[in-house]
Amino acid sequence: MNEKYASYCGLCCENCAVRVKINPASKVLYNEMKAAGFAEIIHFIPNGDVFWSFLKDMADNGTCTSCREGSGNPGCAVRICAKEKGIEMCAFCEDYPCGQFVAFFRNYPILQQDNALLREKGMEAWLKLQDERHAGGFTYTDAQYRPKNGD
């Protein structure tokens, strides 16, 4: 795993469902639609040209790389704060965890243990964990990785 996929908050962009599932699916959808002749008729469908352009771009280029590489949500409060403080990742901030993480922990409960690993054992251990997850097809949206009943 490359460090550029480590977001400021501690999520690993390579384990995002968009990169793992949606980007590959967009390539399949685009190629299937192109083979079925949609390129010739898409302009007859309302907003078809806009959709076709979007789908082609997603199939060719994917979506964002990572917030540290300049893509992602430019208005993300966590990203803005980390950049202003000049920190590599929030887990290394003296104010971590701050109020910005209330929603993150609710949406990504695994983030607490990942950032604890990052603080305790460093980037190399965190990257190794992310590599192992990625090799197993993990995404943050997988229900099996979300605690049940608040456990």
User: 3-state SS string over 89-104?
Assistant: CHHHCCCCCCCCHHHH
Rounded Cα gap, residues 21 and 40, in angstroms = 27
Residues of the chain with pLDDT under 70: 1, 65, 143-151
Task: Quote the tokens at residue 71.
Answer: 């893509």
Question: Nearest 5 degrees, angle CA 88-CA 144-CA 149?
Answer: 95
Confirm whether 150 is domain-assigned: no
Q: What is the pTM of this model?
A: 0.73
Confirm whether 141 is domain-assigned: yes
Number of structural domains (the chain) is 1
Rounded Cα gap, residues 60 and 6, in angstroms = 23
Residues facing 140 on adjacent strands: none
DSSP assignment string, 35-93: HTTHHHHGGGSTTHHHHHHHHHHHHHH-S---GGGT-S-TT-HHHHHHHHHT-S-GGGS
Q: What pLDDT is attached to residue 47? A: 95
Q: What pLDDT is attached to residue 31? A: 96
Rounded Cα gap, residues 81 and 65, in angstroms = 20
For 17-33, how does the pLDDT look when each residue is reduced to its tens digit (9 = 90+)? 788 888 889 999 999 99
Q: What pLDDT is attached to residue 49? A: 95
Q: What pLDDT is attached to residue 145? A: 52
Q: What pLDDT is attached to residue 151? A: 42
Q: What pLDDT is attached to residue 43? A: 94
Q: What pLDDT is attached to residue 149? A: 47
Q: What pLDDT is attached to residue 65? A: 67
| CA count, 13 A, side-chain hemisphere, 102 | 2
Domain that holds residue 56: 3-145
